[in-house]
Amino acid sequence: MVRRLTVALTTLATLGAGALLGPQAVSADRAGPSRGTNILVVGVDSRAGLSAAEKRRLHVGGEGCNCTDVMMLVHLSADQRRASVVSIPRDSYVEYASPDTTEPARWGKINGAYKAGGGALTVRTVEKATGLRVDHYLETGFTGFEQAVNDLGGATVCSDRPLTDENSGLDITAGVHRTDGNGTLRYVRARHVNQRPGDLGRVRRQQRMVNDLLARLGAEGALDGPVSTARTARVLLKSVRTDEHTGLRDLVRIGWALGRLTADRTEFATVPIRLFDHRVPGVGSTLVWDEPRAAALWEALGADRPITGDSRIQPVAETPVDSNPAVIPVRVDDAAVAAALGASGFAATTVQPAPAVRPAGPPVITHPAGRDEDAATLAAALPGARLRPDPQQARTFDIAVGDQPVQVKTVTYDRNVADGAPVTADRLRCAGAPGSPAPGG
């Protein structure tokens, strides 16, 4: 239904976006045709037109870059039975497109294509980088996002730990929260809630928020009726700009298909990254795509195939984990176990001397309270181990080996899988939010 489409695209376009700019025509210099329909949705980081009061209220002080802060490519399959939403991180290092083949190649962050040539160059650059034709283009801004979320009754956001970011103004506790437009904007803009370079965590939060918003609207019956959805589309389009190839009729056509999709037929993913902090003189810290996996992603979309379950995009690991073993300091009272954990990538050392008598049972992992994800990663390497959180434990993870034989498994940490793997919408929702899977499901 058109309301579902418009809500999705309005929300996507305004995640972290800036001031509203005029529509940009999609260039006539296009990539080759691809099956299905591709919609490029961007948010522009610009403070132009915002008053001092609006900047304070939205917590968007400072200078904008007049570049795209958010970029998502939405693919609707030719049979209109599947949708794939792929986030392209703003710092992706790519070659800019140029209609003049005599000019030398220009490389930079993909978000800088907008500053260099507006929406038209942004579209051509995405087409060059992906090999996919962009059929429709949308952009919008901070205030449009805030208003859209407020008009829809707020949004659902969630986190498994407290999140604080002074730059965006985010300050929430662990759990599921219902937020207004301003609070939701802070949640999706936050870039400084951890120390890992790159935007994969922020991108995943954006995807989850969009997904939960759609699920809530569906659960509340807000997606019924073509007349009411068309009316809502006209209201929401006041805060979204489209290219000359995109009008209300296009959104109705696409939205009618999206409105009939079930959660397991909607996919979210982020472009796989090989280098997360590639330094380029004059450009800064950039993200370099994992070339084979990214190529497989674009090829799958171009061939109109699902991206979930494709091992070329997401290699299958025997024991995947969600945190990096190399940053987990481990102390073990058994030299052989410490050596095996070190070979598996953990920062493991041996505690001397070893106990004269081993306690009965499997290994016990005593870990700092609140480090559940890291504890689960360590436990994955020690099948059968018991976890014991200790509020007094400062930083290290202590392992007391028992009298039972210890198996140490090799674990695989892939940040692309942990933070951006292709998943269907039913697997991405906040636990406890409308339409989310049951615990353990």
Structure tokens at 214: 């759609």
User: What does the pLDDT profile of the chain (441 residues) look like in tens digits?
Assistant: 434 444 455 444 444 333 333 334 444 455 666 689 999 998 888 777 788 888 888 888 777 788 888 899 999 999 989 999 999 999 999 999 987 766 778 999 999 999 999 999 999 999 999 999 999 998 877 777 787 788 778 888 888 788 898 888 899 998 899 999 899 889 888 887 765 656 788 899 889 887 887 677 666 655 554 665 566 566 666 666 777 787 767 766 666 666 678 889 999 999 999 999 999 999 999 999 999 999 999 999 999 999 999 999 998 888 999 899 999 999 999 999 999 999 999 999 999 888 999 999 999 999 999 899 999 999 999 999 999 999 999 899 999 999 999 999 999 999 898 889 999 998 888 765 555 543 333
Are 258 and 374 contained in the same domain? Answer: no
Q: Give the pLDDT of residue 12.
A: 46
Are 285 and 347 contained in the same domain? Answer: no
Are 124 and 140 contained in the same domain? Answer: yes
Are 378 and 243 contained in the same domain? Answer: no
Q: Distance between CA 331 and CA 334 in Å, rounded?
A: 9
Are 283 and 327 contained in the same domain? Answer: no
What crossing angle do the helices spanning 2-14 and 142-151 adopt, rounded to 10°?
140
Please state the domain count of the chain: 2
Are 106 and 190 contained in the same domain? Answer: yes
The model's pTM is 0.82
Q: Give the pLDDT of residue 17.
A: 37
Are 272 and 236 contained in the same domain? Answer: yes
Residues 396, 331 contacting (CB under 8 angstroms)? yes
Residue at 440 is within a domain: no
Residue at 437 is within a domain: no
Domain with 332 in it: 320-413
Q: Distance between CA 97 and CA 129 in Å, rounded?
A: 9
Residue at 433 is within a domain: no
Q: Is 188 left (phi over 0), alpha (psi -120 to 50) or beta?
A: alpha
Are 13 and 144 contained in the same domain? Answer: yes
Which DSSP string do the residues of 341-381 spell out, in sequence order?
A: HHHTT-EEEE-SSPPSSPPSSS-EEEEETT-HHHHHHHHHH
Cross-strand partners of 163? 172
Are 181 and 160 contained in the same domain? Answer: yes
Residue at 407 is within a domain: yes
Write out the E strands in 193-236.
none
What crossing angle do the helices spanning 2-14 and 226-236 adopt, rounded to 10°?
20
Residue at 206 is within a domain: yes
Residue at 436 is within a domain: no
Are 245 and 392 contained in the same domain? Answer: no
Q: What is the CATH number of the domain that holds 144?
A: 3.40.630.190
CA 320 to chain centre: 19
Are 377 and 422 contained in the same domain? Answer: no
Q: Give the pLDDT of residue 28.
A: 43
Are 197 and 326 contained in the same domain? Answer: no
Residues 211, 430 contacting (CB under 8 angstroms)? no
